């Protein structure tokens, strides 16, 4: 049982390049989330999904797009990377009823992205 | 709207001291969940506790204890007899009990424990 797996773990991009971060979960969770973590800012929600084929904006969605074509995968795309998107990105997943699991939410180990 | 405030940005203590990390939250919902996470230098998020809004009992787990007070909208975390391994960033978070809600984090408190 792998939980939540994020790919890649590290990446360096040049300004203007595009890339996709992949989040995969094997717990049959309905909900999935993308967060970014910046120093002194905590984790801020970028986008989230409450089910296959659905996505919604979080607190800081600009510059990102997401897709959830399969229940187990949640993709985060950067179409034209900017230095301001240098951050650590965390994916998480949960059941629709968060009390269904003791910890409520399961987090991936993070992706460290640097845009130069 | 929901909000979590961790007013203490950084705390430094010496081993064996007790330390309390403050968390104040805002929500309009009557049903919600509060969490604490630890993020050690390795970077992963470690779940510590989840509390629902109807359970105001304090909880103790080893050297860790949590004080939940709805009257002051606070969910404070105390580490007794701190150890160097407790050095980490600690996050308080809130989740409202409704469809489509996500976990909202405070900005975190960095705890440094020196020997």
Task: For residue B7, give how far its alpha carbon lies from the nearest alpha carbon of chain A (Å).
Answer: 11
Which residue's structure tokens are 């009390």? A99
Instruction: Answer whether B105 touches A (CB < 8 Å).
Output: yes
Q: Identify the closest residue of chain A to B9 by CA–CA distance.
A: A40
The pairing of strands B24-26 and B109-114 is unpaired
DSSP secondary structure letters along B27-44:
-S-SSEEEEEEEE-TT--
Task: For residue B61, give how far its alpha carbon lies from the nearest alpha carbon of chain A (Å).
Answer: 15
**pLDDT per position in chain B (115 positions), as tens?**
789 999 999 999 999 999 999 999 999 999 999 999 999 999 999 999 999 999 888 899 999 999 999 999 999 999 999 999 999 999 999 998 776 678 999 999 999 999 9
Of B6, B43, B108, the CB nearest to A110: B43
Asked if A15 contacts A78 with a C-beta cutoff of 8 angstroms, the reply is: no
Q: What is the pLDDT of residues A30-78, one digit of tens each?
A: 999 999 999 989 999 999 999 999 999 999 999 999 999 999 999 999 9
Task: For residue B111, give how far its alpha carbon lies from the nearest alpha carbon of chain A (Å).
Answer: 13
Give bridge partners of residue A12 from the DSSP assignment: A114
Give bridge partners of residue A35 from the DSSP assignment: A45, A90
């Amino acid at each position: 049982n792998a939980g939540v797996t994020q790919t890649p773990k590290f990446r360096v991009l040049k300004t203007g390049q595009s890339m996709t971060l992949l989040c995969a979960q094997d717990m049959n969770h309905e909900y999935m989330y993308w967060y970014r973590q910046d120093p002194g800012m905590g984790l801020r929600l970028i986008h989230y999904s409450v089910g296959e084929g659905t996505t919604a904006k979080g607190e800081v969605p600009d510059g990102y797009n997401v897709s959830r074509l399969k229940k187990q995968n949640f993709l985060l795309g950067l179409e034209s990377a900017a230095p301001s998107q240098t951050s650590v990105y965390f994916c998480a997943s949960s059941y629709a009823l968060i009390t269904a699991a003791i910890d409520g939410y399961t987090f991936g180990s993070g992706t460290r992205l640097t845009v130069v | 709207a929901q909000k979590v405030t961790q007013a203490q940005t950084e705390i430094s203590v010496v081993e064996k001291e007790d330390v309390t990390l403050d968390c104040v939250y805002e929500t309009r919902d009557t049903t919600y969940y509060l969490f604490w996470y630890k993020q050690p230098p390795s970077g992963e998020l470690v779940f510590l506790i989840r509390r629902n809004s109807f359970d105001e009992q304090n909880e103790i787990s080893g050297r860790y204890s949590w004080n939940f007070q709805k009257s002051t909208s606070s969910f404070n975390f105390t580490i007794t007899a701190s150890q160097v391994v407790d050095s980490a960033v600690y996050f308080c978070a809130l989740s409202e009990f409704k469809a489509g809600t996500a976990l909202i984090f405070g900005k975190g408190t960095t705890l440094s424990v020196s020997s």
